Amino acid sequence: MERLRKAKVISEDEAGLLRAYNGLRNAIVHKYDRLNLDAVRKGLSRIDELYEIVIKLVEKYEKLEE
């Protein structure tokens, strides 16, 4: 995420959101027996923004392949 931010592919806010979702993913994968469902619900509140970032990254990647 830091490389993408430094290359100005994503903004600082987008990088922060990706870091947050990476942390949420780690919590789900590694702490499944002690998972806080309220934290998961809160984390998923910005899922639409995550989707938009992924679409943006895919579009930029596709342009590289042209």
| Predicted confidence (pLDDT) per residue in 2-49, tens digit | 999 999 999 999 999 999 999 889 888 887 678 888 988 988 999 999
Q: Quick one: tokens of 51?
A: 């989707």
5 noted as active-site residue: no
46 noted as active-site residue: no
Please give the Cα distance from 49 to 54 (Å, whole number). Answer: 9
The pTM (predicted TM-score) of the whole model is 0.77
Find the angle CA(41)-CA(59)-CA(52) to the nearest 5 degrees: 20
Catalytic residue among 3, 5, 19, 30: 30
Q: How many domains does the chain have?
A: 1
Please give the Cα distance from 64 to 66 (Å, whole number). Answer: 6
Domain that holds residue 10: 2-65
Catalytic residue among 5, 25, 34, 46: 25
